[in-house]
Amino acid sequence: MESREKSAPQAPRIVEGGRKQLAGLNERFRFDDTSVFPKLWLRFRSHLGQLPDQVDDVVYGVCHNMTEVGGDYLACVEVKDISAVPPAFVQLRLEPRRYAVFTHVGPVSEVSHTYMSIFDEWLPGAGYQFAHAPLFERFDTRFDPETGLGGFEIWVPIES
């Protein structure tokens, strides 16, 4: 069996994130079964560019309503006016807060290693605590959804 050496996560940027209004498709997931993610993204991709008042081409994956065993995952985009979004889409507002922003550079299929490094290695020694608020992945035009490559950011809500 091949052993994978754990590497410490890159030092994050600390960012004051602004208010966001998001709309997309949501699925419940368990930490021990993340098979819902690819199916959810496949369903959501056909709606990209179709939501009223979509702000730009940036796409988000938001983990919210978290418990010890899982949570909700929202594949979404930012919209200017959340009231214009059709009722078939889940709406979520993110309030301004501080984030530690990490870059995941490998294939999207290996993102769990980045999360483990953040929560098991960086956060315990960083002088911050997880803020128990939605955390999100931010996919811009560098990310290729066909190959799962190109990198993306992970925004972890923190507090002192």
What tens digit of pLDDT does each residue of 42-84 get?
999 999 999 999 999 999 999 999 999 999 999 999 999 999 9
Q: Is the pLDDT of residue 7 over 70?
A: no
pTM value is 0.91
Q: Is the pLDDT of residue 1 over 70?
A: no
CATH number of the domain residue 90 falls in? 3.20.80.10
Half-sphere exposure of 103 (CA within 13 A, CB side): 10
CB of 23 closer than 8 Å to CB of 44? no
User: Residue 10: its pLDDT value, please?
Assistant: 75
In a domain, 29, yes or no: yes
Nearest in space to 139 (alpha carbons), one of 93, 108, 95, 99: 108
The residues facing 103 across adjacent strands are 153
In a domain, 79, yes or no: yes
Sequence-ordered alpha helix ranges (H) in 34-91: 36-45
| Amino acid of residue 105 | V
CA distance 36 to 99: 26
User: Residue 146: its pLDDT value, please?
Assistant: 87
User: Residue 4: its pLDDT value, please?
Assistant: 43
In a domain, 8, yes or no: no
Nearest in space to 24 (alpha carbons), one of 52, 66, 65: 52
| Amino acid of residue 63 | C
Q: For the chain, what percent of residues have pLDDT higher than 90? A: 84
User: pLDDT tens across 121-149, in order?
Assistant: 999 999 999 999 999 999 999 999 889 99
Q: How many domains is the chain partitioned into structurally?
A: 1
In a domain, 4, yes or no: no
- Burial label for 53, CB within 10 Å (0-12, 13-18, 19+), is middle
Mean model confidence pLDDT for the chain:
92
In a domain, 1, yes or no: no
In a domain, 132, yes or no: yes
In a domain, 7, yes or no: no
User: Residue 34: its pLDDT value, please?
Assistant: 85
Residue 151, token pair as written in the block: 């990198």
Q: For the chain, what percent of residues have pLDDT higher than 70? A: 94
Residue 107 lies in domain: 13-159
> With bands split at pLDDT 50, 70 and 90, how would you rate the model's confidence at 37?
very high
In a domain, 137, yes or no: yes
